[in-house]
């Protein structure tokens, strides 16, 4: 299984190396994976730092790319809002812009261009630098723009005045998943470097029963939590789902799940491989209107 997993990851990396920034649907098509599995593999590659995730979205989906392919995101700027495109083209032409000298709409747009515009604090003023512009270039451009006649500052001073906190925050966000993305911090030393056997079983079960993965919440070796959806005669129904690889399921397992689901104002779905003990069966019967339990065979 591990060799097969690594082969799939290698193929995905090669596709992105050849094509550049890519959408999950494109990766699914080229690898022959289902969109659900392709997204799971891409998520793992982002978590391991092999791939990056764009803030720019195409049809509501981010792009996956290799470090060093950042410039190729320019090929997708037509998917930006008009004001953001205007701000990007202005920044690209000037390379460095002084925040307080810009129109309010442009200032707001630059803050949304997280793939291309990076904040720098210099002499207590906020500037924006374009992707790939070095600190030496920043210094040279600022001194020319201001035309103050002061002596050129050293490279070290510019590096000291760069807002490291702002830049690190952006780098950190790039390593998170879609709803991720915005939503998940990497757990040091506890990354899952492959799509595990249990997770594959869960994803296969969901796909087999036409249940869609909407948002991943938590992933561990023997536990997976997510928001999922399925269609019914009255429309789409969303569940707070917990899949647990455990031999004996207790009443407490179900109670904790139902509590989390109710906090999200959703019914609960529990997937398992083991057996429910007597109290768990009684609890499931009592709350059957809000709690659905399915066994992964």
Domain boundaries, given as residue ranges, for the chain = 2-67, 80-162, 197-295
Predicted local distance difference test score (pLDDT) of residue 34 = 83
Q: Give the Cα separation of 111 and 212 in Å (integer).
A: 33
Average pLDDT over residues 100-113: 90
Q: What is the largest CA-CA distance in the chain?
A: 83
Average pLDDT over residues 213-220: 84
Predicted local distance difference test score (pLDDT) of residue 272 = 93
CATH topology of domain 197-295: Trna Endonuclease; Chain: A, domain 1 (3.40.1350)
Query: In sequence order, which residues have a C-beta less than 8 Å from that of residue 285 and are 6 or more positions away?
Result: none
For 140, list phi and psi in degrees, rounded to 5. -65, -45
90: closest CA among 54, 69, 117? 117
Query: What proportion of the chain, given as a percentage, has pLDDT over 90?
Result: 35
The pairing of strands 212-220 and 223-232 is antiparallel
How confident is the prediction for the chain on average, in pLDDT?
80
Residues 1-38 have pLDDT tens digits of 444 788 889 999 999 999 999 998 899 999 988 877 88
Q: Give the Cα separation of 63 and 179 in Å (integer).
A: 13
Burial class (CB in 10 A: 0-12, 13-18, 19+), 25: middle
Query: In sequence order, which residues have a C-beta less than 8 Å from that of residue 70 and are 6 or more positions away?
Result: 52, 115, 131, 132
Q: Do domains 2-67 and 197-295 have the same CATH topology?
A: no
Q: Has this prediction a pTM greater than 0.95?
A: no
Architecture of domain 2-67: Orthogonal Bundle (1.10)
Average pLDDT over residues 68-84: 92
**Residue ranges in 52-178 assigned as alpha helix (H):** 82-94, 104-112, 135-146, 155-161, 164-174
């Amino acid at each position: 299984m591990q060799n097969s997993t690594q082969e799939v990851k290698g193929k995905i990396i090669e596709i992105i190396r050849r094509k550049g920034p890519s959408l999950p649907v494109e990766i699914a098509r080229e690898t022959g994976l289902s969109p659900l599995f392709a997204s799971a593999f891409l998520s793992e590659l982002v978590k391991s730092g092999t791939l990056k995730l764009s803030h720019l979205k195409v049809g509501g989906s981010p792009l996956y790319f290799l470090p060093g392919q950042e410039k190729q995101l320019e090929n997708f700027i037509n998917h930006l809002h008009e004001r953001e495109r205007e701000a990007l083209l202005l920044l690209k032409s000037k390379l460095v812009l002084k925040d307080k000298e810009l129109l309010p709409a442009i200032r707001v747009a630059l803050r949304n261009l997280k793939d291309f515009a990076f904040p720098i604090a210099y002499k207590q003023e906020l500037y924006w630098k374009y992707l790939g512009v070095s600190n030496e270039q920043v210094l040279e451009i600022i001194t020319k723009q201001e035309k103050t006649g002061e002596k050129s500052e050293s490279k070290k001073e510019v590096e000291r005045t760069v807002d490291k906190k702002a830049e690190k925050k952006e780098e950190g966000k790039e390593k998170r998943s879609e709803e991720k993305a915005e939503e998940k911090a990497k757990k040091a030393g506890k990354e899952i470097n492959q799509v595990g056997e249990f997770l594959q079983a869960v994803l296969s079960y969901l796909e087999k029963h036409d249940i869609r993965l909407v948002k991943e919440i938590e992933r561990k070796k023997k536990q997976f939590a997510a928001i999922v959806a399925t269609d019914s005669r009255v429309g789409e129904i969303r569940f707070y789902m917990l899949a647990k690889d455990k031999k004996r399921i207790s009443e407490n397992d179900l109670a904790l799940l139902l509590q989390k689901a109710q906090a999200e104002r959703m019914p609960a779905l529990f997937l398992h491989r083991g057996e429910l003990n007597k109290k768990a069966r009684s609890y499931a019967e009592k709350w059957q209107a809000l709690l659905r339990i399915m066994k992964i065979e």
